[in-house]
Amino acid sequence: MNRVLIPLTLSAPPVPPGAQARAQRWAGETMGTTWSVVAMLPPTVDAGALEQGIRAALDSVIAQMSNWAPDSDVSRFNRACAGTWVALPADCLRVLACALQVARDSGGAYDPSAGPLVDLWGFGPAPKRSAPPAPDEVALARRQCGWDRIVLDREGGRALQPGSVSLDLCAIAKGFAVDAVARYLDGEGVAHHLTEIGGELRGNGVKPDGMPWWVALESPPDSGPATPEQTLVALHGLSAATSGDYRRFFDSEGRRYAHTIDPRTGYPASHALASVTVLHVECMMADALSTALTVLGPRAGMEHARRHGIAARFLVRTPGGFDEHLSPAFAAMLA
pLDDT for 249-277, tens place per residue?
667 666 776 778 899 999 888 787 888 99
pLDDT band at 83 (very low <50, low <70, confident <90, very high): very high
Backbone angles phi, psi at 317, to 5 degrees: -70, 135
Q: Which amino acid is at 193?
A: H
Architecture of domain 2-10+20-45+52-60+189-331: Roll (3.10)
Q: DSSP state, 81?
A: P
Domains 2-10+20-45+52-60+189-331 and 73-170 in one fold: no
Report how far residue 155's alpha carbon sits from residue 95's, in angstroms, rounded to the nearest whole number: 15
Mean pLDDT (whole number) for 171-191:
96
Q: 248: closest CA among 103, 33, 65?
A: 33
CATH of domain 73-170: 1.10.3980.10
Report how far residue 323's alpha carbon sits from residue 232's, in angstroms, rounded to the nearest whole number: 18
Report how far residue 276's alpha carbon sits from residue 199's, in angstroms, rounded to the nearest whole number: 13
Backbone angles phi, psi at 101, to 5 degrees: -65, -45
Burial class of 253 by CB neighbour count within 10 A (0 to 12, 13 to 18, 19+): exposed
Q: According to the model, what pLDDT value does residue 259 have? A: 74
**Domain spans, the chain:** 2-10+20-45+52-60+189-331, 73-170
Most confident of 18-32, 148-162, 203-217: 148-162
Q: Which residues pair with 87 in a beta bridge?
A: 158
Q: DSSP state, 309?
A: T
